[in-house]
A and B are shown apart, each in its own frame.
Chain A
Amino acid sequence: MTSLHELQRDLRAAVLGGDPSRAAAAVVDDDLPAEARLRIYRHHVRTTLTGVLQAAFPVVCRLVDERFFGYVADQYIRSDPPSGPCLFEYGERFPAFLAEFPPCRALPYLADVSRLEWAVHRASRAPERDPLAAAALQAVAPARAGDLVLLLDAACTLLASPWPIERIWRANRPEMGEPVTVDLGAGRALLEVRRRGDDVVIRELEPATYAFREALARGHRLADAVEAALAHDAAFDLPGALRALVQEGLVTGLGGGSGEPAAGPAVSNGRATTEQPLGAPAHVPCMRRPGE
């Protein structure tokens, strides 16, 4: 290893809250000790990355309060620092971290609420993909249809939770006033989160529709997706479901069953099975970009 590389590894430890002594040995001590000078960098890294997580997870921050959020964020940043400079991509594994973080166990719905926040954040910044024209789907020979793989918009997330996470999320948006009480027994959530124009849209899906879209999002063949839907609704309307997918612009391409979609939509959990009423689409303004 070169001396520059070694120094950079020592500085990494210092700015992420590890042992600063090796880095400090390389820094001039003058009217301010080396460790105090290193703390200036440490402070900036910690506060700006915490700010990035706060901007992506404002509802989690409100649910746990800002001080505790700062503590969790610091633990997360140390264990899983950003892997690249596009900070709107940082925080993808924060929900999994929250789920495993012992002090958060008292709030069993917290990790799922953070998954919803990430889905909204992700949708707001995902690259545009042109939707597939209906004609392309109509051109598929009926005999081959069962093996078809539909590539869904990568900006879309399908999210299932045993908790009423959309109600919790909506009641705790930063622009809301006093917190309202949400009944945790109010029912499971089967959500689809996607962008439409400049807005992010959250929608509650019926179980059969959820199962159908979730199977497609996982890259399963059309025949398997239909089977998943039929398990919830023996009268599942396949032509209607396909028409809705295309009309909503959710299909971005066709695959032949050989490969997984390169950058497909995200799927979280997907275990819920209860009947859900079809909720009205809810519009949420896009998030502000981190770092600005």
Chain B
Amino acid sequence: MLSLRDPLGPRAVGIGLRAPHVAEMIASRPAVGWLEAHTENYLGGGPAIRALEALRGWYPISLHGVGLSLGSAEGIDRGHLERVARLVERIQPAVVSEHLAWSVVGGAYLNHLLPLPYTDESLARLCENVERAQDRLARRILVENPSSYLRFRESPIPVPEFLGELARRTGCGLLCDVNNVYVTCRNLGQDPAAYLAALPPQAIGEIHLAGHARNDVDGRTILVDDHGSPVAEEVWNLFMRAVGRFGARPTLIEWDTDIPALDVLLEEARRAGQVMSRALAIEGPRDVAA
């Protein structure tokens, strides 16, 4: 069986493709392992999609969606899934990923990766939606752990176990966003190391790294997953631990607000490669998918 991480190469470090960098990427073609593009930004025409088609000739592409709303009780929108499927056919990405979240109810798209209660009912609904997406896209997708700012009263399954069960039932892979693990655990008073330890290593197909903000909410510090700054030191440490547990995985630097010069992203990507190498040297390389 092919490993989930084969399409990109286990040690490949990529960056999120952002509009302000597109022209420079095309002109200078910097050395970077792969590019992640936000699916919903490429479902129209015009210069955006043409640029992505040019870049896919030089870099492996991952399509990262925010709009399928895999956690919707109403099921996923057939029209949107069709549009995503046509883009996947056009771009032929190495990887397709989405989120453990919901954003659609009653025909309204709420533009946020909204939280789910982790119950048997949610799990059953997630499994149906993930299977429907995988059937239509004719490929396995990766599902990313969310950043959380609240817990529901009725939510008996811990999120790492919930993700593990989703992967087991549907065959999907998992995208472990280490910043999201850190942000969630700090906001909800949980232990990030225990969170990582409860994720099934063989299901992890990719790692995300990003910066977060520290906001004051009614006198309590809340970490906000705004992707607007360098990766925090605590998150680099957690990334070392993640690589130590999962082995080498394709890793991405995400930056979405206050987007800096392209060189800043490329420098963060180089650092991610170095941290991964250091973690592997300490832990010894693994091939958990064998």
- List, in ascending order, chain B residues with CB within 8 A of A16's CB: 108, 110
Give 10 pairs: A residue, B residue, CB < 8 Å, sorted on A: A12-B105, A27-B152, A31-B189, A32-B220, A48-B111, A81-B109, A84-B80, A88-B41, A126-B46, A195-B46
Interface check A292, CB cutoff 8 A: yes
B111 close to A9 (CB less than 8 A): no
Report the minimal beta-carbon distance from B105 to chain A, rounded to whole angstroms.
4
A41 close to B114 (CB less than 8 A): yes
A4 close to B119 (CB less than 8 A): yes
Interface check B66, CB cutoff 8 A: yes
B72 close to A8 (CB less than 8 A): yes
B217 close to A39 (CB less than 8 A): yes
A26 close to B109 (CB less than 8 A): no
Smallest CB gap from B215: residue in A: A40
Interface centre among B48, B106, B109, B111 (most CB of A within 10 A): B111
Say yes or no: A26-B110 contact (C-beta < 8 A), given A85-B66, A88-B41, A292-B256.
no
Report the minimal beta-carbon distance from A200 to chain B, rounded to whole angstroms.
9
B149 close to A291 (CB less than 8 A): no
Tell me the residues in window 65-121 of chain B with beta carbons closer than 8 Å to chain A beta carbons. Answer: 66-69, 72-74, 77, 79-80, 83, 102-112, 114-117, 119, 121
Say yes or no: A37-B41 contact (C-beta < 8 A), given A5-B74, A84-B77, A286-B47.
no
Smallest CB gap from B18: residue in A: A292
A292 CB contact (under 8 Å) in B38, B102, B121? B38
A26 close to B152 (CB less than 8 A): yes
Tell me the residues in window 105-120 of chain A with beta carbons closer than 8 Å to chain B beta carbons. Answer: none
Instruction: Type the 1/0 row for B130-152, where 1 means its CB is closer than 8 Å to any CB of A.
Output: 00000000000000000001111
Interface check A44, CB cutoff 8 A: yes
Tell me the residues in window 8-39 of chain B with beta carbons closer than 8 Å to chain A beta carbons. Answer: 18-20, 38
Say yes or no: A5-B44 contact (C-beta < 8 A), given A28-B150, A82-B111, A86-B67.
no
Smallest CB gap from B42: residue in A: A289
Report the minimal beta-carbon distance from A92 to chain B, rounded to whole angstroms.
13
Given A31-B220, A33-B218, A48-B111: 19 more A-B contacts, CB < 8 Å: A4-B125, A8-B114, A9-B106, A15-B114, A27-B151, A27-B153, A37-B217, A40-B150, A41-B112, A81-B110, A82-B109, A83-B108, A85-B67, A85-B80, A87-B111, A88-B44, A289-B19, A289-B48, A290-B41
Interface centre among A39, A82, A288 (most CB of B within 10 A): A82
Which range holds the interface residue count of chain A?
35 or more
- List, in ascending order, chain A residues with CB within 8 A of B41's CB: 88, 289-292
Number of A-B contacts (CB under 8 A): 151
B149 CB contact (under 8 Å) in A41, A88, A127, A288? A41
A40 close to B152 (CB less than 8 A): no
Interface check A45, CB cutoff 8 A: yes
- List, in ascending order, chain A residues with CB within 8 A of B73's CB: 2, 4-5, 8
B152 CB contact (under 8 Å) in A28, A126, A128, A288? A28
B43 close to A86 (CB less than 8 A): yes
Report the minimal beta-carbon distance from A83 to chain B, rounded to whole angstroms.
6
**Alpha-carbon distance A36/B92, docked complex (angstroms):** 43
B150 close to A38 (CB less than 8 A): yes
Say yes or no: A125-B44 contact (C-beta < 8 A), given A38-B150, A40-B149, A83-B107.
yes
Interface check A138, CB cutoff 8 A: no
Interface check A205, CB cutoff 8 A: no
B44 close to A86 (CB less than 8 A): yes
Q: Please give the residue numbers on chain B whose beta carbons come within 8 Å of chain A beta carbons, in ascending order.
A: 18-20, 38, 40-41, 43-48, 66-69, 72-74, 77, 79-80, 83, 102-112, 114-117, 119, 121-122, 125, 149-154, 189, 217-218, 220, 222, 224, 256, 259
- List, in ascending order, chain A residues with CB within 8 A of B222's CB: 32, 40
- List, in ascending order, chain B residues with CB within 8 A of A36's CB: 217-218, 220
Report the minimal beta-carbon distance from B44 to chain A, rounded to whole angstroms.
4
Interface check A182, CB cutoff 8 A: no
Say yes or no: A11-B114 contact (C-beta < 8 A), given A27-B153, A40-B217, A291-B40.
yes
A32 CB contact (under 8 Å) in B40, B68, B217? B217
A84 close to B109 (CB less than 8 A): yes
- List, in ascending order, chain B residues with CB within 8 A of A82's CB: 108-111
Smallest CB gap from B41: residue in A: A289
- List, in ascending order, chain A residues with CB within 8 A of B149's CB: 37, 40-41
Report the minimal beta-carbon distance from A37 to chain B, rounded to whole angstroms.
4
- Give the top 7 A-B pairs by smallest Cβ distance, nearest first: A85-B67, A127-B45, A125-B44, A5-B73, A37-B150, A81-B108, A292-B19
B44 CB contact (under 8 Å) in A40, A45, A127? A127
**Alpha-carbon distance A81/B117, docked complex (angstroms):** 24
Smallest CB gap from A3: residue in B: B121
**Alpha-carbon distance A15/B115, docked complex (angstroms):** 12
Interface check A175, CB cutoff 8 A: no
**Alpha-carbon distance A16/B79, docked complex (angstroms):** 24
Report the minimal beta-carbon distance from A50 to chain B, rounded to whole angstroms.
10
Interface check A99, CB cutoff 8 A: no
Smallest CB gap from B83: residue in A: A86
Instruction: Type the 1/0 row for A158-198, where 1 means its CB is closer than 8 Å to any CB of B.
Output: 00000000000000000000000000000000000001001
Say yes or no: A4-B121 contact (C-beta < 8 A), given A86-B44, A291-B40.
yes
Smallest CB gap from A155: residue in B: B45
**Alpha-carbon distance A89/B43, docked complex (angstroms):** 10
